[in-house]
Amino acid sequence: MNKLYAIVTLILLNVVGVAGQQPMKFGHINSTEILSVMPELKQVEATLEAEYKEKEGQLMVMQEELQAKQTEYQQTASAMTPQERAQKEQELGEMGQKVQNYYMLAQQQIQAKENELKAPIMQKLQAAIQEVGAEGGFLYIFELATRVPIYNSEKSIDVAPMVKAKLGIQ
C-alpha cells in the first residue's frame, strides 16, 4: 500500500513538474463541421445519391410488379379454385418478402458503401488533427460534436481553422 502511494506521489510530482515547465494547451474542434466542408465529401454524397436512386428505381419496379399481381389476383380470385387461390397467395407472399428483403439489403449496401467511401476522408481529417495537435503543442483537443462541454474556457483554442488550413479548405 505504501508503495502504491509512493508511485502515485512520484507520478503527480512529475506531472506537476512538467506542467510547471510548459503551459498546458487544450483545444477543441467540431470535426463534423469541418467534414461537411471538405470537397471530398461532396463527391461521396453524389456517389451515394446515385447509388440510392438506382436502388430506389429497382425497388419501385419490384413494388409496381407486386402491386400489379395483387390487383390481378383480386380481380380473378373469385374464378379460381381454392387450390389456385392458395398457390397465388403464396406467390404473392413470396414476392412481398422478396421486395422487403431487397429493401433491407439495399439499405445495408448503401450504408457499407458510405462507410467505405468516407473512411479515407475520415483518416485524412484525423491525420490533420494529429498534425495540428503535435505542431501546436496541445495536450488534448476535445471533440465538441460528440460531447457537450461542461466548461469551455476562453483559453481553449478552436483548432478548426488550423485543421482547415492543413486540408487546404478556406
Q: Which domains does the chain have, with CATH numbers?
A: 21-167 (3.30.910.20)
Residue 73 near residue 91, CB atoms below 8 Å: no
Residue 23 near residue 153, CB atoms below 8 Å: no
16-59 per-position pLDDT tens digit: 444 455 677 888 888 888 988 999 999 999 999 999 999 999 99
How far is Cα 142 from Cα 131, in angstroms, rounded to an integer? 15
How far is Cα 98 from Cα 92, in angstroms, rounded to an integer? 10
How far is Cα 166 from Cα 34, in angstroms, rounded to an integer? 11
100-118 per-position pLDDT tens digit: 999 999 999 999 999 999 9
Residue 41 near residue 121, CB atoms below 8 Å: yes
